[in-house]
Structure 1
Amino acid sequence: MTRASLDKQPHEVASMFDGVAANYDLTNDVLSLGQARLWRREVARAVAARPGQKVLDLAAGTATSSLPFAATGAYVVPCDFSLGMLREGKKRHAWLPLTAGDATRLPFADGVFDTVTISFGLRNVQDTEGALREMYRVTRRGGQVVICEFSQPTWAPFRTVYTEYLMRALPPVARAVSSNPDAYVYLAESIREWPEQPALAALLQKAGWSRVAWRNLSGGIVALHRGFKA
């Protein structure tokens, strides 16, 4: 198995996620101390999918994140560039149209989706701005993007504690529950290096999204960003 480096070469990232696919959802629950499920609920609330709408769920992995959208009656397309993740997702949710795709070169026509959403995947994309432009391209006018991503805690003392957890506590826990603990060292490093909330909002605006705003979850450990296509 492998871990990716912070230059995020696509083949490295895909191979890394292929190697952790089987236990990925369980590992996330353990490492997030159960918060991952809360964050997924908040994403579902922000997307507010309705029957007949088309939702693109990027970096969907095993498609666990797609289930709340499908439950509303929306047509959801789980998309990921890790074939290992998609194979695992197909075993569990054969009825979903899981699709292989790179966030920087999406295999969809212009203006197809009412909502494009990505949870905990944008920081693993090599070209963040290119991905945001692609999301804009495949969204219909009046549609929205919802991004759930690790961010920076807003309270300085807590930020210090959080960084210590990421770099010291997370790898030993990952070794106990993951088939590829080195992958989670990369994930911790990628979280630490990721832009703060205002910087990501600026990238969304640069890509063309309007009415950009964000909401902090769990004290800023995670942020929900939203934008609209005018």
Structure 2
Amino acid sequence: MSRASLDKQPHEVAAMFDGVAERYDLTNDVLALGQTRLWRRAVRQAVDAKPGQRVLDLAAGTGTSTQPFHAAGADTVSCDFSLGMLQVGKRRLPHLTFAAGDATRLPFRDGVFDAVTISFGLRNVQDTERALSEMLRVTKPGGRLVVCEFSRPTIAPLRTVYIEYLMKALPAVATKVSSNPDAYVYLAESIRAWPDQRELASVIGKAGWRRVAHRNLTGGIVALHRAYKED
């Protein structure tokens, strides 16, 4: 399986990420033109992990996104349904706790996490609202959600350039740096089909989260959504 289709069958998506696991972090940094560090910093600040808190990092892949929460003293779980990504993560970051799991059927008890976060992974889930409901279920009352995901540039000229990059330049660059360039054709298509900032905020609210807010990063190429579970 070289790439998934936009109906996002879980076994196809998992197999696709298994195939890019070894070079996934490097490829992302190259394709994002160095912006991934800025986005990760914004997520870290929004999650605001404290010593002793429990943080669930979904679609965590190799655990790179989890490391800042662990460094802050939180008790972390890196969860992903790609066993290939988890195996690479466990080898590179053996001090982290990794767990295999589907975002639509999380293998955790109700109300056990102070914060749940997912970066660039919600877009790959087949049932977005069900996944958000599962995140709500495993979060403690008063706990928080942070979603970082590709979105819609707010400035028309930037939006035009961005779409051009997604559909033409990104697959070409991926050919040079990725072990599976076809996977990044799926990436480009899935970003184009994804809801914009306000639409995603509405979906988060429908799943039961409250005080939903978002802010744009890099001109809206990425949006950071935050929400809370009622006390």
TM-score over 0.5 for the alignment?
Answer: yes
CA distance in 1: counterparts of 2:4 and 2:129, whole angstroms:
20
Deviations 1:52-95, CA, capped at 9 Å, x for gaps: 00000000000000000000000010000000000000000112
Give deviations 1:2-37, integer Å, cap 9, x for gaps.
100000000000000000000000000000000011
Give 3-state SS (helix, strand or coil) of 1:61's partner.
Answer: coil
1:228 equivalent in alignment to 2:228 = yes
Instruction: Report deviation, 1:156.
Output: 1.1
Aligned residue for 1:65, secondary structure, equals: coil
In the other structure, the counterpart of 1:7 is 7
- Partner of 2:159 in structure 1? 159
Alignment correspondent of 1:88: 88
Q: Distance in 1 between matches of 2:200 and 2:107?
A: 24
Residue in structure 2 matched with residue 35 of structure 1 by the alignment? 35
- Who is 1:181 aligned against? 181
Residue 64 of structure 1: SS of its match in structure 2?
Answer: coil
Q: Where has structure 1 moved over 3 Å in runs of 4 or more?
A: none
Correspondence 1:47-62 to 2 at 5 A: 47-62=47-62
Aligned residues: 230
Q: Which residue of 2 aligns with 1:103?
A: 103
In structure 2, give the amino acid aligned to 1:129. Answer: E
The 3-state SS of whatever aligns with 1:198 is helix
Aligned to 1:124: 124
Q: Partner of 1:227: helix, strand, or coil?
A: strand
Deviation at 1:106, TM superposition (A): 0.1
How much identity, in percent, do the aligned residues show? 73
SS at match of 2:65: helix
Q: Which amino acid aligns with 1:30?
A: V
Cα deviation, 1:110-137, whole Å, max 9, x if unaligned, reads: 0000000000000000000000000000
Amino acid at match of 2:91: K
Task: Identify unmatched segments of 5+ residues in structure 1.
Answer: none
**SS of structure 1 residue aligned to 2:66:** helix
Q: What's the Cα RMSD here?
A: 0.5
